[in-house]
Amino acid sequence: MGVTFRSGHYVRFVRIGGRTIKDGEAAVIWDRKGRANQIIGPRRVNLFFSTIRFLDRYKAEPHQYLVVNYRSGKISHVPGPVSQYMNPANHDSIEVKDGFKLETKDDCIVVFSSKSNHNNEEQHDTEESSKEQRYASQRRIVHGPTIFFPSEGETVHAFQWTTSRLLQKGSTIDSLLSQEGQTFHIIAVNKMSLWNCQLAVSTAESSKININLALSYKIDCVEKCLTVGNPIPALDAALLNDATNCTKSELNLMEWVLKESTYPTLCQTMASFGFQLTKIQVLGVSYAKKPRPEKTREDITSEVQDEIRKMEQLNASKVSFLEKLHDMGVDVTQVLCASNGRTNMIGENLRD
């Protein structure tokens, strides 16, 4: 019998014998005629040319639910707290999934459910419509606070939005527009969020200025968010389109950037997707570095001539210094030997 609990890895064929199924264990036994019998312990069973297999136990806590897939094709959702054994004679698989936790009244999810629209009393005109059963997908929005467990035939919509290409580097703001391409199910309406982005604006003086913006926004209509699979590329394009329309000078640039009327395309695009722009802030401004002008052949020739002139002046000063030493009776040969012929040391002494 053993001390530990046995699971689905324990499979034995027993000709003549018995097994003790402890309290907390379960097993399925196939007799010599192939009939299956599930037994939940504690119980002692006698076996005669039978196969016994212990069962895996699945447990769902209060915030979880079990998805039971039957061999018949039926699917059952069982909210926790509950535990169930997976019997291979009846089940294909059992999964433990977390419920959707909606913490506030602003948190919501979109649920699609497949309901049969077939009416037995309704007469269909064609043979094809009379033979096939019609199904329609119904959509509803579930608001919090609650823990939602989907029923059989219900699917929670998954939003798959990419990351904004204009997102400011190093931004740690938790926002729908700053997620790294993650899939999410819960969306918050009427909740203020930030979109930190970088824009390159050209002024009337043709100078490039990089502006770090913090756009405050909220989602006021979930239904409009479902009209497009991924609204982020369209919002990026709308913001870039408005930024290219700058005709202001550097003195009036900040006033132009902070006006909501500066972004008509962005506001219209956000409204069509259920977003609302509420506030615009400037986090920082930096000027683009101007590229250094390329040197012409005349500039390079002039620099080379200046270097040659400097070397000639230095060599002349070295010769003059050695001549003075010679006039003073100093053996110049010994001076050069002491410096190992490195005349640059003489030049450094002259500079000092």
Per residue of the chain (352 residues), what is the pLDDT tens digit? 667 889 989 999 999 999 999 999 999 999 999 999 999 999 999 999 999 999 999 999 999 999 999 999 999 999 999 999 999 999 999 999 999 999 999 999 999 988 544 344 344 444 444 444 455 678 999 998 999 999 998 999 998 888 888 876 655 555 666 555 578 899 989 888 888 888 888 877 777 888 888 889 999 899 998 888 888 889 989 998 888 887 777 778 888 888 888 889 999 999 999 999 999 888 888 876 655 667 777 878 888 888 888 888 887 887 787 777 777 777 777 766 766 555 555 555 555 5
Q: Are 109 and 157 in contact (CB under 8 A)?
A: yes
Report the alpha-carbon distance of residue 271 to residue 26 in Å, rounded. Answer: 57
Question: With a threshold of 0.85, does the pTM exceed it?
Answer: no
Residue 307 to residues 171, 301, 310, 312, Cα–Cα distance (Å): 49, 10, 5, 9
Helical (H) or strand (E) element with 143: strand 135-143
End-to-end CA distance of the chain: 97
Contacts 24+ apart (CB under 8 A), 307-315: 314/347, 314/350
Q: Is the dihedral of CA 164, 170, 171, 172 positive or negative?
A: positive
* Joined tokens for residue 339: 């410096």
Which residue from 15, 78, 94, 81 is spatially nearest to 52, judged by alpha carbons? 15
Biggest CA–CA distance in the chain, Å, is 133
